[in-house]
Amino acid sequence: MPSHDEMVRTVERYVEAFDKNDAAMAADLYATDATVEDPIGTPIHRGRDAIHAFYAASMQANAKLRLDGPVRTGGDYAAFAFTVLVDFGGPKEIEVIDTFKFDAEGKVMEMRAYWNPANMRDTAAA
């Protein structure tokens, strides 16, 4: 099982992948048969190819992540709160919490993102 520090580093690399617009870097954090449910309750992206395509689409909207507070970990999970800055027909901010479940090799095997339209707001006037 990865250590607290290893899980935190993976979250930091995830943020960095968005900074660099590097979908391959984000996808590489995942196990080959991993799942991504974003937002929770919607159809699941299965496998690293589908996950790569999902991040490539997010990054086309120039999504950037700003961590809100420290990464929490417990057992083989990390949870972290962040704000997504994104351009969906104008600048928006979306407040999200993600959970990562890790496998024994320290790859993410399950990601779930907690957010919905009530957590999104326009920032054009800000």
Give the residue numbers marked as catalytic.
14, 38
Write the binding mask 43 to 82 for a copy of itself: x where contact by CB under 8 A, - elsewhere.
-------------------------xxx-xxxxxxxxxx-
Find the binder of a copy of itself among 22, 56, 85, 95 (CB under 8 A): 95
Element containing residue 17 per DSSP (H, E):
helix 4-19
32: burial class by Cβ within 10 Å (0-12, 13-18, 19+)? exposed
Of the pair 21, 54, the CB lying nearest a copy of itself is at: 54
Backbone angles phi, psi at 96, to 5 degrees: -135, 150
Query: Where on the chain is the footprint of a copy of itself (CB under 8 A)?
Result: 4-5, 39-42, 68-70, 72-81, 95-97, 99, 113-116, 118-119
